[in-house]
């Protein structure tokens, strides 16, 4: 192994968007892979749960500030951004200046990596280090993707330009083939944890589902309708629905002998996906990627964002699953009836596009970066 143009290991700081688990799962897999190659990795994320997650994995982790940038009419308006952040901005600035001091005192890294967050870009610019983005959202910045229904990519592009006005290289995860003229952009397969790639895959009379909350859009309607359809029209399969613990109390009433409602546990959910005929969910990138790697077709109910509607549209068009605005009997039964053909499509697609582990390519690129003079510090707690 050679690091940073020599035998010296790299020192890397990875910035992770702390909203949801998708960014966390992806970047933790990258961080562990780099650590296994002998490199030193520190994490900046936001939210105490995410900080605790990375610290439990043994990574020095700091809690940064994530501004609120919500869209209205597919755009982020300056007035809305100011109103949403004006009270938190002084504390956010204080925390960012504290991050600068912590980075300087514990050792400026060779390279910063960002995943859809603003902290590591500002630190990279301040310390004059390379900034590499590894995410799935950057396609909305670099590609002129069409609107999907009433949703446009404008707000996603605005966020990316605010978070990281410039990057030295962009690795964009995609489960379908994409291309761009800019040679600083490289499309890679989704980063999938070893736990999923090594999961034993079978096909049992089981269907797994997971529905999440997005502000006022909760899982109850989807859970209620899907449970009713299975009770009345799908007598030969068990439906196992996972939900966040905070939602469990309100959803338990929809369970019966063949419809199970369970608090989300990642290991159990992955094991059930691996043995299921199919998966029902919202249209989050990471869950879709994991289902495809396991060879499972998906029926998607996108949450009200461009990202989720784009993901659902692409899956439907590629014949890897189906999508609908809401859970409806006809669409559910048609999806289940097409299950074998869709599953065959998923397996062919996976073997063609998703079998390679992209972490080797990411690590090789980081290790090829020109050396810098600052010595590597010893690992620090934080």
> Over the stretch 124-143, which tens digit does the pLDDT of each residue have?
999 999 999 999 999 999 99
CB burial of 164-198 (b: ≥16 within 10 Å; e: otherwise) equals: beebebbbbbbbeeeeeeeeebbbbbbbbbeebee
pLDDT of residue 4: 54
Task: Phi first, then psi: give them for residue 307, nearest 5 degrees.
Answer: -55, -50
Q: Is the pTM value of this prediction over 0.75?
A: yes
Res. 375: pLDDT tops 70: no
Domains 11-189+357-367 and 195-354 share a fold: yes
Tell me the pLDDT band of 203, cut-offs 50, 70 and 90: very high
Condensed to tens digits (0 to 9), the pLDDT of residues 102-126 reads: 999 999 999 999 999 999 999 999 9
Confidence band (pLDDT; 50, 70, 90) for 372? low
pLDDT in tens, 348-361: 999 999 999 999 99
CA–CA separation, 296 and 301 (whole Å): 16
Residue with tokens 């439990």: 56
pLDDT tens per residue, range 295-315: 999 999 999 999 999 999 999
| Torsion sign, CA atoms 109, 129, 157, 364 | negative
pLDDT of residue 154: 96
Q: Which CATH class for the 195-354 domain?
A: alpha beta
Q: Which string of DSSP letters, residue by residue, matches 85-116?
A: HTTTHHHHHHHHHHHHHHHHHH---SEEEEES
% of residues, the chain, pLDDT over 70: 95
Contact 17, 44 (CB under 8 A): no
For the chain, the structural domain boundaries read 11-189+357-367, 195-354
What was the pLDDT predicted at 8?
A: 83
Candidates 3.40.50.12500, 3.30.70.640, 3.40.50.2000, 3.30.70.890; CATH matching 11-189+357-367 = 3.40.50.2000
């Amino acid at each position: 192994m050679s690091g940073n143009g020599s035998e010296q290991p790299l020192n890397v700081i990875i910035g992770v968007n702390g909203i949801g688990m998708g960014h966390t799962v992806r970047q933790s897999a990258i961080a562990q892979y780099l650590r296994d190659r002998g490199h030193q990795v520190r994490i900046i994320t936001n939210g105490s749960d995410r900080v605790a997650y990375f610290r439990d994995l043994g990574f020095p982790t700091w809690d940064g500030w994530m501004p609120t940038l919500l869209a209205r009419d597919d755009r982020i308006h300056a007035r809305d951004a100011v109103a949403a952040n004006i009270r938190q901005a002084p504390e956010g600035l204080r925390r960012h200046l504290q991050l600068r001091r912590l980075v300087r005192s514990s050792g400026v890294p060779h390279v910063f990596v960002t995943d859809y967050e603003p902290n590591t870009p500002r630190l990279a610019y301040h310390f004059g280090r390379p900034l590499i983005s590894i995410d799935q959202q950057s396609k909305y910045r670099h590609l002129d993707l069409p609107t999907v229904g009433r949703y446009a990519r404008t707000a996603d592009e605005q966020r990316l330009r605010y978070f990281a006005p410039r990057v030295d290289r962009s690795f964009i995860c995609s489960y379908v083939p994409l291309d761009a003229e800019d040679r600083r952009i490289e499309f890679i397969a989704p980063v999938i944890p070893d736990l999923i790639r090594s999961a034993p895959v079978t096909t049992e009379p089981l269907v797994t589902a997971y529905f999440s909350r997005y502000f006022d859009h909760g899982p109850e309607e989807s859970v209620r309708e899907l449970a009713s359809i299975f009770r009345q029209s799908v007598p030969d399969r068990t439906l196992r629905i996972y939900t966040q613990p905070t939602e469990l109390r309100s959803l338990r009433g929809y369970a019966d002998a063949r419809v199970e409602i369970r608090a989300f546990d990642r290991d159990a959910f992955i094991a059930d996906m691996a043995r299921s005929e199919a998966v029902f969910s919202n249209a989050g990138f990471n869950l879709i990627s994991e289902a495809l790697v396991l060879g499972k077709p998906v029926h998607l109910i996108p949450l009200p964002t461009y990202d989720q509607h784009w993901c659902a549209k692409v899956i439907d068009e590629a014949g890897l699953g189906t999508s609908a605005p809401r859970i409806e009997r006809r669409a559910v039964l048609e999806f289940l009836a097409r299950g074998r053909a869709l599953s065959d499509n998923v397996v062919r697609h996976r073997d063609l596009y998703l079998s390679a582990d992209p972490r080797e390519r990411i690590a090789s690129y980081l290790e090829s970066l020109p050396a810098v003079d600052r010595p590597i510090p010893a690992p620090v707690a934080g």
